[in-house]
Structure 1
Amino acid sequence: MTVLVSGGAGYIGSHMVWALIDAGEQVVVVDRLSTGFEWAVAPEAKLIRADIADTQTIAEIIKAHDIEAIVHFAGSISVPESITDPLGYYQNNTVNSLGLIRTAIATGVRNFVFSSTAAVYGDPEGDQPVTETALTLPQSPYGASKLMTETMLADAAAAHDFRYAALRYFNVSGADPKGRTGQSTRGAANLIKVATEAAMGKRDRIEVFGTDYPTRDGTCVRDFIHVTDLVAAHLDALTYLRAGGESLIANCGYGRGYTVREVLDAVRRISGRDFEICLGGRRDGDIVSSVADSTRARTVLEWSPRHDDIDEIVASALAWESALLRSNQQT
């Protein structure tokens, strides 16, 4: 039995592949390599260059490799980009996911773990941390496209012998502690990625979007989760589904937020380097604060994060940037 990882050559997907290999699983990666890297895939996994939109090829892969579960990462992830290219996001994140879900059900795959996002909540109203029962009012096509896929999964699970776990990520950051993979896409917009690039001299400055938010220092608040803990939650979700667990939605975050300024201060302190910070206006689609209540993941999935430390997250990201500079693997 084998696990298919869509988008397994990308940032989070490549970490997932390494985690599955470390756990003794057989893994097939499907990635069109539009933003991912062949070198990021664990050599023990089989990489097939294909697009999940090609449902005939996906069906053939599932049958040929006796795929028992799918972990679905393939998709587009930028809030600002989704605002300028909404139809592209609905195509890649929603329509293509529909094809993958339909193909999974048609070929007898019963277990499906989906890479969702806290962007489905929009600007959370009421108390934080945010629970999974909070209203879902996405403020960007990115969040809406992911929420549509969650809806399709729920309806499919109600109609078929099919179960899923949709994990709503908060702000994923950091890199593999063993240095095997990390965030490598040039032009990535993740705050810690951008800040560590600035610290390493890859960017001449970093821009802060909005300094007048109603927070402790005027900048947005985010719950940053180490990518290694995030993929551990996926492994726990897969174990849960295999044991017959019911379909579920679960937040993945630590329940503690940091402002943009606090993150930049941490990068400066840990790197020992200064870099220019430019203060700009708010961006469309950005929200004030987003912090996870991850009680469901911790109790139902028995998830136990081990890297809940902003300094550790930043240090691992800096180590990866240093590795990229040495190897010149970033494109």
Structure 2
Amino acid sequence: MNAPTAWGERCRQLAEPVVEACSVTSAAAGPAALAHEIRKYLPDWPFREVLCRGGWYRLGGVIDADGVRVSDNLEQWTVAELEARDGELGVLLDDYAGSTLRATHLRGRTHYFAAATPGRASTDFVQLEVEELQETWASPLFRDDASPATLDELIDAPCGGEACAGEHGPRCGTPVEAAHYRFRRLTHVGDLLARMRTQALEPQPIHRFVADWDASSAGPATAFCNHWAIALREHLDRFRQTIVRATPIPALTGEAPRFGAREGTSGLSLHAALLAFDRAVGYPMAWYFGMLAGKAVGHWVPAAVASDAAAGFSYLPERDLAVVRQWLHRPYAF
């Protein structure tokens, strides 16, 4: 996974102008403005937003009640302070008793953009991830009503309610500064999935997912990157090699449509529910891929579809029925 590739080097080159575009675009202007700015730097790469995911945060820095910044990195600051006291957390708490120092959080959303690349494969596209970050006030670090037993409890304490306001400054969640964009990652998805195949003898679920997309009616009907973003997670194995896990995320605005059939449904009623779901999402076999990467469609549906086909009522094209039967033989999901 660590070996460089032509696409890996190309993405590194493309990243530089994207970083510049992020730095000059106000987050208040929205992702469409960012995409427009990126096109100024990379006119041959028509990136468009596919998905936005929010609701997460990271640890931020340390600020006193007057807004004076003590550190940009809360974790590094607390570790250094603890090491200066020979690892004695109690001594650290005593030394800062009555302090008005506050932690901050970086609350964020991840914007996924996609741009097609030459090639006929469904994964021939580049995915750009940009974070929209806003630093906010978090809990006082050394509250009189809290006695953290570990460093983690100290640096990531829950909101202290009334203790987060008054003499300790603004309430938790109050912005410290305006939101801004930060480049996260630029990935050629096809290249990444090819390299991921070297991690294990068996393909990962994402490889089967893409193969099913290509084999089903969805593949020729629409572009994969119109409907899916790929969430990536990395970790180091015991040999210090980078291991990547990839999960498809549906590019839907809001919640997935409701699947209009309960377990036990079959025949015309089930067929109608499949068609309605596919139309609501916008491509054929959406119910199948929604089942694999979501909870809107139950895992009972493929068996019911195959049972209908065996009884002589086959409402799916043969290519789609083959995908369903293969899943029943070797089921998987995310």
The TM-score normalised by the length of structure 2 is 0.25
Looking at both structures, which has the greater relative contact order when contacts are Cα pairs under 8 Å and sequence separation is at least 6?
Answer: 1
Q: Which has the higher strand share?
A: 2
Structure possessing the higher radius of gyration over alpha carbons: 2
The TM-score normalised by the length of structure 1 is 0.25
